[in-house]
Amino acid sequence: MTRKFKTADYEKTLDLQISLREVLPPDHLARFIVDVVEQLDLSNIYKQYSDKGAPPYAPEVLLGLLFYGYATGVFSSRKIEQATTEVIPFRFIAGNMQPDHDTIAHFRQQFLPELKEMFVQILLIAQEMDYLQVGNVSLDGSKIHADASKSKAVSYKRLLAIDAYLQAEVNELFALAEAADGGQLPAEMNIQDEIERRQHQLARLAEAKKVLEARAQARYEAEQSDFEAQMQARAEKATKTGRKPAGQPPKPPTVGPSDKDQYNFTDPESRIMKNANNSGFDQHYPVPGRCNTQVVVEHDSRLIVGHWLCNQPNDKQATLPTLDTVPPELGQPDTANLDTGYFGEKNIAGLQARGIEPYIATGRSPHHQGWRGHFLDNPDPPSQNAAVKEHMAYKLRTDIGNAIYRLRKSTVEPVIGIIKEVLGFRQFSVRGLVAAGGEWTLVCLAYNLKRLHILHYG
């Protein structure tokens, strides 16, 4: 072959000396994060360190590693440790040090509560840079996998069956102990140990039963409220039209746990939830069938200004608490866009009481309406005594209402897509609702840093 190729001299390359200044330009994300961390007030973290022992790694270093890791899709403390040696941006943020994964994981676990304060500080920095002015916001949510195996879950029906079986075994073992005959029992069997083991299991099952019954009661109260609202709406419609509303009336909710209600022994605060991407079920936080990692996104900047990992039975109950997570230091939103899962008269009244104009879908928009649906179907404004749902539906059909609500598709929905697809965050690394909520703050904070970097450098 006469063709010449450029080949690599790997032995010579191994001796190559590289300046990080050459490979990390001033507008690199790693340098931007280091600059932002330097502006944060970390006094609440510093004061938790003891004066004794060997010098620890500075909080700025570990925070920078976590922020950059989560902003680039590296969530594992072991992978972050490895990256401080092998990946140039991580090595720069670490100051050419190599904190071990235990140090990184412990720091993350210990200081998750302080991240809420840093989340606000970074948003205030964005305001000072003139990239954020809270005005119109949208709220949405998504399911995130819990750090728990669904194989460790048990249904309420199965729980009752196991409870009855273990109780029968305990009674049998007590009877054997009272009439113990050394020749009738295996030599290696200790009856007292077997009884205590089953009693421990029964105690765990009793706790699981108590939790499932409490969840069922909360669900019943929420569903009963929705049922009463639907029945009232049907009654008002019947009074207005003078005839019985079409369709079957809603069914009243059932009291108590269902046979399929699940409890997970690895992480009791997670729940089995239907996976929208396939026909299976997975372990999520924390309510079956709903999206409960919530974010509030400001329209112009696409920054997350509020977030919550909630434990509410449905999205309706998550609305006001999630919007209340928007820091008051940033200002009050003018409008809020929410999809039909958040619709409720209490939410509309609550938003209006906070000075926020609500735009909430009253139902799913039909596809392929045709030109008549877009240009000719413009009903007259409802009367003053019309139902709240009618007023909201009309508001969304107006030019301004339609324009504002359509912004959801280019604001909050892409943000959730970026978190799950670009950053790749689909499972929590910690267990328990409080700790997972702290990690959700870290995810939203890291997204904001990445977004702010784009806003600043384009």
State the distance between the two ends of the chain, measured CA to CA, in whole angstroms.
47
Lowest-pLDDT choice from 22-26, 240-244, 283-287, 332-336 = 283-287
238 or 135, which is more confident = 135
Strands (E), 228-292: 262-264, 271-274, 281-284
Cα 442 to Cα 78, 189, 254, 412, distances in angstroms: 17, 51, 38, 18
**What tokens does 248 get?**
């079957």
The sheet that has 335-338: what strands, in order across it? 304-309, 293-298, 136-142, 335-338, 357-360
What's the rounded Cα separation, in Å, for the pair 174 and 344?
56
Is the pLDDT at 377 greater than 60? The verdict is: no
CA 168 from chain centre, in angstroms, equals 42
Q: What is the pLDDT of residue 181?
A: 58
Cα 186 to Cα 10, 165, 172, 197, 397, distances in angstroms: 67, 22, 15, 17, 78
Query: Amino acid identity of 416?
Result: I
Q: What is the pLDDT of residue 337?
A: 94
400 or 1, which is more confident = 400
Is the pLDDT at 344 greater than 80? The verdict is: yes
Give the confidence band of 408 by pLDDT, cuts at 50, 70, 90: confident
DSSP annotation string for 56-125:
PPPHHHHHHHHHHHHHTT---HHHHHHHHHH-HHHHHHTTT----HHHHHHHHHHTTTTHHHHHHHHHHH
CB 268 within 8 A of CB 284: no
Q: What is the pLDDT of residue 236?
A: 77
CB 89 within 8 A of CB 68: yes
Q: Which helix (H) or strand (E) holds 337?
A: strand 335-338
Q: What is the pLDDT of residue 378?
A: 56
What would the pLDDT profile of 44-56 be if each residue is shown by its tens digit?
A: 999 999 888 889 9
Choose among 66, 56, 61, 45: nearest CA to 108.
66
Q: Residues 438-444: what's their mean pLDDT?
A: 94
- Three-state secondary-structure class, residue 370: helix
136 or 260, which is more confident = 136
**What tokens does 104 get?**
């990184």
Q: What is the pLDDT of residue 286?
A: 47
What's the rounded Cα separation, in Å, for the pair 222 and 317?
8
- Domain residue limits, the chain: 13-111, 126-148+274-457, 150-265
What's the rounded Cα separation, in Å, for the pair 315 and 304?
18
- Three-state secondary-structure class, residue 353: helix
- Global pTM exceeds 0.75: no
What's the rounded Cα separation, in Å, for the pair 144 and 314?
15
- Kindly report the average pLDDT of the chain as a whole number: 84
Lowest-pLDDT choice from 118-132, 153-167, 351-365 = 153-167
At residue 358, φ and ψ (nearest 5 deg) are -85, 140
**What tokens does 143 get?**
């399911």
Give the confidence band of 210 by pLDDT, cuts at 50, 70, 90: confident
CATH homologous superfamily of 126-148+274-457 equals: Ribonuclease H-like superfamily/Ribonuclease H (3.30.420.10)
